A and B are shown apart, each in its own frame.
Chain A
Amino acid sequence: MTIGAVTVIVIHLVLAVLLSPVLIGVMRTTRARLEGRVGGGIRQPWRDLRKLLAKQPTRAPGSTPVLTLAPILLMASSLVLCALIPFVSTVALTSVPGDLFVVVGVLLLGTVALALLGLESGTAFGGMGSSRHMVIAALVEPTVLLSIYALSVPAGTSALAAIVRARLADPASLLNPASLLAIFALVVVVIAETGRLPVDNPSTHLELTMIHEAMILESGGRDLGWLELGSWLRLTALLGLVANLALPWGIAQDAAPLGLLVGVAAITGKLLLLGAALAAVEVFIAKLRLFRVPELLAGSFVLAFLSVSASYLVF
């Protein structure tokens, strides 16, 4: 079983690293085409990444090791996230639980690394980005916790793999109101956490409006490459989690080769479709005024809370 679990984790990591630039490419291209632009193409993020990773970083004199460590930390936390979240198979290492509390903790680790990086640069933009990012993180993390917790109630366990397996075994539970509320709350916080519209505009060049981009303004070359890939992996991991919680079909229950192959194909399809759908929705919405973002996130928290209450009433 351990060898199977290790195989699954390796597949998760390789798949996530290969798939995340494609996912970003699909999202950007979808948005470009819907807006009537040609766009850079699906492979552009991959080309950007290759270029950045080959470049020497420029670091300000007097900067501390945080500048070097934060990208590594973000990258590491994103990879751990990808390893823990059941993408392809529900087989998990028994010694390392893919527990929802662990997942939220690892997520926060990456958030903190980014915020420290923003402060490290010592510029007004970086600090501004970090402060906004922490405000949003403080509102997002409880909702992530609550909404997955709501899904864990019927499964009777907080291990993500077990939750997905339980949902797969009982498809009727996918449509019960508690589950739908929790999934919706999760989608909202995933959008906020990964810096997409309407919370943050990933395609803006205006420093004063930025959140995520403001923190990484001072990074360049390799550092920026790792930060970009780390953020993309985060998006991939969170979207993958939503996809497999909402539509668990296709995920393998063991480590058999055929099942894994189907699992890889299923998650790839689900992720790209979800990404394209997210990008398509972004065309039709604008960015919220910063002070209204907490209203949105508080709303999603309320949904998650209702979902938890409903879970106890229903089961």
Chain B
Amino acid sequence: MSRLDPPEVIRVDRERLVETIAAQLAGGLRLGLVAAHEDRPSTSDARFRIVHVLLGADGRRVEVVVEIPRAGAWLPTLAGVSYPAGRFEREMRDLYGIVPRDHPQPYRLVRHGHWPTGYHPMLADADPNPDFGADAGFPFAEVTGKGVYEIPVGPVHAGLIEPGHFRFSVVGETIVRMYQRLYFAHRGVEKLFEGRPAAEGIALAERISGDTAVGHSLAFAMAVEDALGIEVAERERLVRALLVECERLYNHINDIGAIINDTGFGIVNQHAARLRETLLRHNERLTGHRLLRGAIRIGGADLLDRPDLALVAAVADEAAELARISTEHPMVANRLDTTAVLPPDQARSLGVLGYVARASGIRVDARADQPFADLGDGFHVVTAEAGDVRARFDVRVGEIAVSARLVADLAVRIQALERSSAVLELAGPGAGLGVVEAWRGTLVHRVEVGADGNLTRVKVVDPSFCTWPALGIALADTIVPDFPLANKSFNLSYAGNDL
């Protein structure tokens, strides 16, 4: 298997945008990414070009491109045909000033109250250091009624987690509505990519979300390779697949401990932390970095050492034992079962990804849908039906076993192949797509490279961006003291979402 086919590009005008996207969605594709581009800025012919990337379950990729004049830019909203599209539009409005017309939720998403009016940071002429005013506040939809009260939590939390504000409207102990306010960790990552040589983007991509260093750097590298027509040798692709699985292993094991810790059964967390540390040290031996940074490069991937298969197998066995001890404990099982259910139809219409989707019975996994390497017989997609905390826990447990098996298989196959050394010529222009099943879910990068080999636009979609809205849905009828457990079972990235 080599590179996937280049995407089918459909150019439409904005009058026909909605029907075109709707037709593609009806054809079984899902909206993976929407990226706005500012073409020929500061000329009289300045235009916005918006690329909608649709991904199929069979490796199919379709790009629907619409061009609009920059002055008074607007688009017909797609929120009616796709919920994720509505969120991409809100993001685009805040960052580029492109107005989605007749949007059902015309509220800001990225921008906080203290941003200056009319400030759209992704525009070429945006002031990099604007005059941020006092916080103009952020109104929340108030739930009124007898006995309803609000609990504000964050953005500074008690644990070592990222910033995010949650506003619960509660009756007694039952959550009526949960509103989340994110984008406290908005660093302007996409803008930081612009103008850098493509090879330098790797280091930045590794730092988008610290626990997904491989996922982001690989998606970025694959997008650049796709843009510049670089072929990656079989061995390097297998090494990349192995690294993705190593990342999945240590993160899933960490999650297992964290979920059980929130039920008060701390001993499992202690042992999970020990297993995670074992894996982190193994990572350091493999790549020179505990979080696997520095292993992926454009055109390839490197390992410093052979994976210790006995160690990985032993860790996976112990993780399975920990999971068994937890789920066979009646008090722990009672906390996990039926807590924070995300129904499959809701999960599907919200467009959630990763283990959250698979725990609600949706079989979405880029390793099967958009593969970049043949993973062999050891791979299968783990799914569960219930959609509760238990299902998300079980999916992770299943994926640990699959990942450990894949690491073993891939290591043997890598050993049998010769290391290739090709000198790369990074010359543009071009546009490309990178799709990776990172540990949280399907990660998409879309990269455009200029004629000088520098990046002109990088759009990043972390699976967390698509999955965050589902947390509030899953909390319906959940009680307040179970929120931390529900949140841990989602474990979404703030940095990856906020960019």
CB of A291 closer than 8 Å to a CB of B? yes
Stretch at the interface among B101-109, B445-453, B476-484: B476-484
Closest residue on chain B to residue A204 by CB atoms: B264
* A120-145 vs B, Cβ < 8 Å mask (1 yes, 0 no): 00001101100000000000000000
On whether the beta carbons of A207 and B334 are closer than 8 Å, the reply is no
CB-contacts of A194-246 with B (<8 A): 197-198, 201, 203-209
A198-B331, A205-B158, A208-B483 are known contacts. Are A287 and B263 too (CB-CB below 8 A)? Answer: yes
Q: How far is the CA of A287 from the CA of B484 in the complex (A)?
A: 13
**Interface contact A36-B274, CB-CB below 8 Å:** yes
Neighbouring A residues of B260 by C-beta, 8 Å: 286
In the complex, B149 has a CB within 8 A of chain A:
yes
Interface string of B260-276 (1 = CB under 8 A from A): 10111111001100100
A244–B271 Cα distance when bound, in Å, is 37
Q: Using Cβ atoms and an 8 Å threshold, which residues of chain A touch B262?
A: 206, 209
B267 & A34 in contact (Cβ 8 Å cutoff):
yes
Chain A 2-44 interface residues, beta-carbon cutoff 8 Å to B = 31, 34-37
Report yes or no: A283 in contact with B149, Cβ–Cβ below 8 A: no
Contact: B151 with A124, CB < 8 Å? yes
- Across the interface, A125 reaches (CB within 8 A) one of B151, B263, B271, B329, namely B151
Q: What does the 1/0 interface line of B77-97 toward A look like (CB < 8 Å)?
A: 000000000000000000000
A168-211 interface with B by 8 A CB criterion: 197-198, 201, 203-209
A55 is an interface residue with CB less than 8 A from chain B: no
Q: Is the CB of B159 within 8 A of A208?
A: no
The one of B266, B334, B484 in contact with A209, judged by C-beta atoms closer than 8 angstroms, is B484
Contact flag A285-B331 (CB < 8 Å), given A124-B152, A128-B480, A208-B480: yes
How many angstroms from the CA of A203 to the CA of B264 in the assembled complex? Answer: 9
Tell me if A51 is interfacial: C-beta within 8 Å of chain B: no
- Judged by a CB distance under 8 angstroms, whether B46 is at the interface is no
**B150 at interface, CB cutoff 8 A:** yes
**Does any Cβ of A come within 8 Å of B142's Cβ?**
no
Task: Pick the contact of B267: A124, A205, A207, A283 (CB < 8 A).
Answer: A283
Question: For residue B265, which residues in chain A have a CB less than 8 angstroms away from its CB?
Answer: 285-286
Q: What's the Cα separation between A284 and B321 when bound, in Å?
A: 16
Evaluate whether A286 and B270 lie within 8 angstroms (CB atoms) in the complex, with A206-B158, A208-B484 already known: no
Are A207 and B266 in touch, CB under 8 angstroms?
A: no
Give the complex CA separation of A290 and B151 in angstroms. 17
Q: Contact flags (1/0) for B472-499 with A, using CB distance below 8 Å?
A: 0000000111111000000000000000
Contacting pair B150 A124 (CB below 8 A): yes
B residues within 8 A CB of A208? 151, 153, 480-481, 483-484
Q: Indicate with 1 or 0, residue by residue over A94-133, a CB within 8 angstroms of chain B CB atoms.
A: 0000000000000000000000000000001101100000
Chain B residue at smallest Cβ distance from A292 = B334
Bound form: Cα–Cα A198–B149 in Å: 27
Asked if B305 lies at the interface with its beta carbon under 8 angstroms from chain A, I say no
Assess whether B332 is in contact with A286, with CB atoms less than 8 Å apart: yes
Bound-state CA distance A127–B331 (Å) is: 27
Within 8 A of B (CB), among A281-307: 283, 285-292
Q: CB < 8 Å: which of B152, B335, B479 contacts A287?
A: B335
Per the bound structure, the CA–CA distance linking A106 and B87 in Å amounts to 57
CB neighbours of B482 from chain A (8 A): 289-290
A288 to B153, CA, bound (A): 23
Known contacts A35-B270, A206-B158: does B264 contact A287 (CB below 8 Å)?
A: yes
A286 with B274: CB separation less than 8 A: no
Complex partner residue of A206 from B151, B331, B479, B484, CB under 8 angstroms: B484
**Shortest CB distance A130–B (Å):** 13
Q: Does B173 contact A (CB under 8 A)?
A: yes
Which B residue's beta carbon lies closest to that of A211? Answer: B481
**Cβ–Cβ < 8 Å partners of B266 in chain A:** 31, 35, 203, 283
A205 to B269, CA, bound (A): 14
Q: Which of B260, B265, B481 has the most CB of A within 10 A?
A: B481
User: How far, in angstroms, from A198 to B260 measured CA to CA in the complex?
Assistant: 14
Distance in Å: Cβ of B464 to nearest Cβ of chain A = 20
Residues of B within 8 A of A37 (CB): 270
Could you jot down 29 A-B contacts, CB within 8 Å?
A31-B266, A34-B267, A35-B267, A36-B271, A124-B149, A127-B149, A128-B151, A198-B331, A203-B266, A205-B159, A206-B158, A206-B159, A206-B484, A207-B158, A208-B151, A208-B481, A209-B481, A283-B266, A285-B265, A286-B331, A287-B264, A288-B331, A288-B334, A289-B335, A289-B479, A290-B481, A290-B482, A291-B173, A292-B334
Cβ-closest 9 pairs across A and B = A287-B264, A124-B151, A286-B265, A205-B158, A286-B331, A206-B484, A209-B481, A286-B263, A201-B264
Excluding A198-B331, A286-B329, 15 further A-B contacts by CB distance (< 8 Å) are: A36-B267, A36-B270, A36-B271, A124-B150, A205-B159, A208-B153, A208-B480, A286-B260, A287-B264, A288-B335, A289-B479, A289-B481, A289-B482, A291-B479, A292-B334
